[in-house]
Amino acid sequence: MQVIVNKTLVNYLVSGQGSKQILLIHGWGTDLSSLRILQDYFSESYTVISLDLPGFGESGLPDRAWDNTDFASFAADFLIKINYPQIDTIIGHSNGGAIAIEMIAKKMIEPKKLILIASAGIRTKFNKRNFVIRQFAHIFKIGSVVLPGGLRNNFKKRVYQKIGSDAFVREAMLDSFKKVVTQDITEDARLIKIPTLLIYGQDDQATPVEYGHILQRNILNSKLEILSNCGHFIYQDQPEQLIKIIRGFLNV
């Protein structure tokens, strides 16, 4: 399904007919299909809503560089537009988790529960790495212009793989990416009062377990689950265990 929100085309999916609603928010560089396993499973007991955030999947591009507050505001407007202003639970993966925190902390939405899967947004202890990312992005924009097209694209890809980001996948979103990776959500996390489930993979290099411990210390009513033999994409590495943990938290 598609709808226009604030002059931007949004691709989205609504499934299930439960009286309670779940909003799924995907991470950077992916789209709503990445969380399809959760959409399909929980549609048996919930109405599950997911969207391609602007700049990803089949949705249109933002009109300027956005940070997570912009994405959060847009997601809240999207829910109003499709007549689901009240959501029971938000599930966010990676940067989608940071967006969910922004939505709740800034009172754009008031769900009853929050589930953060490998949530990003912890920046204060990692400013050096973020600085390197910004510098690499600036350098390749200058240095790669002299290379032939094929070599230039290969150079870009190698640079971004080296610094551990998937910005290359969405080059049109580069300016937004640079804003997102410098935005810390620790202070906003302290404003979260609802029951929160934090799920991290023991082997995650993109959003390490330390992020989960930081969020647990800052979100008053939170519980941290750490999955072994699991990386950043928990829904791919340990889907059955992930669903089991979420079911227990939701009392499904």
**If residue 49 lies in a helix (H) or strand (E), which one and from where to where?**
strand 47-51
**If residue 250 lies in a helix (H) or strand (E), which one and from where to where?**
helix 239-250
The amino acid present at 77, given as its one-letter code, is D
Q: Provide the residue-wise pLDDT of the chain in tens; the chain has 252 residues.
A: 999 999 999 999 999 999 999 999 999 999 999 999 999 999 999 999 999 999 999 999 999 999 999 999 999 999 999 999 999 999 999 999 999 999 999 999 999 999 999 999 998 655 445 544 544 454 445 444 455 555 555 655 554 444 444 444 567 898 999 899 889 999 999 999 999 999 999 999 999 999 999 999 999 999 999 999 999 999 999 999 999 999 999 997
Separation CA 82–CA 90 (nearest Å): 16
pTM above 0.75, yes or no: yes
Compute the 3-state secondary structure of the chain and give helix, strand, coil in percent, each to the nearest 5: 45, 15, 35
Identify the burial level of 43 via C-beta atoms within 10 angstroms of its C-beta, where 0-12 means exposed, 13-18 middle and 19 or more buried: middle
